Amino acid sequence: MANMQIQAMLTEAVRHHQAGRLDQAAPLYQKVLTLDPSNPEALNLLGMAAMQNGQHQAGVELIRRAIASNGRQSAYHFNLGVALQTIGDMEEAVASYRRALVLKPGDPEPTTIWAMRWRRWAGWTRRRPPSARHWPVNPDNPAALNNLGTVFWTLERKDEAEEQYRKALALKPDYADALVNLGNALRDKADLSSAVDWFPQGAGAFSKQRRRP
């Protein structure tokens, strides 16, 4: 019975949260925690609500508690990264984005954000971002390889970006996103003769996708 009550409160709280009614969502999350002090979803969402209300340190601590209760949720680590970034702890934020990716390899949101954070952080600390073998990406997943190519492109490591796009296409030759990304990569490297070979293939792949029922 208690579990049903908790789930009902969480569902209502999320509905208020998504509608921007944080003043109604937060008390419901707190009620859940009264019944179940280690409920990871309530801790995570209350932490996000705290962040949205400008209570940044409280948000970080709540999300850390969510991870302590259930450390296998990629979203919790991603949210912690956002929270840590907000309070200026870039090193820990980057580590949290990486943990999110370890749990959900190839996920485009943390992959892209991690790349952007690395680019800024590397500029401040003069640290070089990790090489491809250190990124938590499934080498047999063309979408993950395509995302990794975009990461390297964001980091202005163009040769490595091209390599990942080609690996994605070796697994899935009609992968439209990778075809277009490789064309853009070659164009921006001033390899125009090669780029023009890839753009029509990308356009054709996109066209096939649109025709599918």
The two structure tokens encoding residue 46 = 């209350």
pLDDT tens-digit profile of 167-186? 999 999 888 888 888 888 77
For the chain, count helices (H), then strands (E): 11, 0
Return the domain boundaries, the chain. Answer: 1-104, 134-208
pLDDT digits (tens, 9 = 90+) for 102-133: 787 666 666 666 656 655 555 544 455 555 55
Q: Which CATH class is domain 134-208?
A: mainly alpha
Rounded mean pLDDT, 135-158: 77
Pick the closest to residue 141 from 149, 131, 129, 153 (CA basis): 149
User: What pLDDT was estimated at residue 195?
Assistant: 40
Angle formed by the axes of helices 56-69 and 40-52, to 10°?
170
> For residue 18, what pLDDT is reported?
93
Residue 141, burial from CB neighbour count under 10 angstroms (0-12, 13-18, 19+): middle
CATH number of 1-104, picked from 1.25.40.10, 3.10.450.50, 1.10.8.60, 3.40.640.10 = 1.25.40.10
Q: Do domains 1-104 and 134-208 have the same CATH topology?
A: yes
Question: Please, how many CA atoms are within 13 Å of residue 63, restricted to the half-sphere of its CB?
Answer: 26
**What pLDDT, in 10s, does the model give residues 40-74?**
999 999 999 999 999 999 999 999 999 999 999 98
